[in-house]
């Protein structure tokens, strides 16, 4: 599988898991914890959310950069 297809697949899977992520954040799943990769992504994300242009974290290019950074 090419690197592009692998990233595209990872992005698709990450988007499908968004509701589980939200449930974990709001403690709706008892005992649910974040993986090491998720904790890395959260640390990076927190730095970017504090800025005025925080919505860029949802851009496709930035999303791919985040996946590369945590893997």
Going from N- to C-terminal start, the domains of the chain cover: 3-70
Taking residues 47-71, what's their average pLDDT?
Answer: 78
1 pLDDT above the threshold of 60: no
pLDDT tier, 61 (very low <50, low <70, confident <90, very high otherwise):
confident
Question: How far is Cα 10 from Cα 32, in angstroms, rounded to an integer?
Answer: 21
Q: Specify the pTM.
A: 0.37
Q: How confident is the model at residue 55 (pLDDT cuts 50, 70, 90)?
A: confident
User: What span, in angstroms and rounded, lies between the C-alpha atoms of 61 and 24?
Assistant: 25
Per the CB < 8 A criterion, the answer to whether 13 and 5 are in contact is: no
Helix, strand or coil, per DSSP, at residue 3: helix
What digits encode the pLDDT tens for the residues 3-53?
Answer: 666 767 777 776 666 677 777 777 777 787 888 888 887 887 777 767 777
Contact 66, 37 (CB under 8 A): no
């Amino acid at each position: 599988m090419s690197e592009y297809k692998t990233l595209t697949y990872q992005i698709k899977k990450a988007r499908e898991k968004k509701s589980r992520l939200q449930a974990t954040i709001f403690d709706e799943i008892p005992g649910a914890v974040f993986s090491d990769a998720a904790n890395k992504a959260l640390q990076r994300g927190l730095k970017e959310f504090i800025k005025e242009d925080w919505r860029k974290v949802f851009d496709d290019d930035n999303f791919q950069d985040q996946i590369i950074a945590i893997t």
